[in-house]
Amino acid sequence: MHDQTSSPQTVRLAQDACFAVDMCPCGTLTLHVGAFSLRLEPEAFAGLLDLLGLASSRRQMLLPGAAGQVQGATHAALWAASTGDRRGKA
C-alpha cells in the first residue's frame, strides 16, 4: 500500500449519491462513505462484497411478506439455518 496522500493515478471505479470506490495503482481499494474512507486490500474488498451479499439475502428473508419466508420463523432460527449452526443439536 502506498501512503495516505491522494495519487493522480487513482481511478474512481464507481460512485453514487452516498458512496464511492477508488482504486490506487497498488491495487488497494478505498470505499468512501460520506466523510469516512476505508482502505481495503483486494481480498478484503472481495470479502466485504460477499458479506454484504449475505447480509442482503438474510435481510430479504426477514422482511414481512418475503417470498419463501418460513411462517413463525424467528431471527435466531433463520440465522442458524443460514449459517449451518448446529448448537444444541444431538
Over range 12-40, report the average pLDDT: 97
In a domain, 81, yes or no: no
Q: Which three cell numbers stand for residue 2?
A: 502506498
Model confidence at 2, pLDDT cuts 50, 70, 90, reads: very low
In a domain, 17, yes or no: yes
pLDDT at 8: 75
Given a cut of 80, is residue 71 above it in pLDDT?
A: no
3-state helix, strand, coil split of the chain in percent (to 5) is 35, 20, 45
Q: How many CA atoms lie within 13 A of 15 on its CB side?
A: 6
pLDDT at 65: 78
Over range 57-86, report the average pLDDT: 68
Helix (H) or strand (E) holding 58: helix 42-62
Model pTM score: 0.63
In a domain, 73, yes or no: no
**Into how many domains does the chain fold?**
1
Q: Which three cell numbers stand for residue 89?
A: 443439536
Residue 57 · residue 67 · CB < 8 Å: no
**How far is 34 from 38, CA to CA, in rounded Å?**
11
Over range 26-47, report the average pLDDT: 97
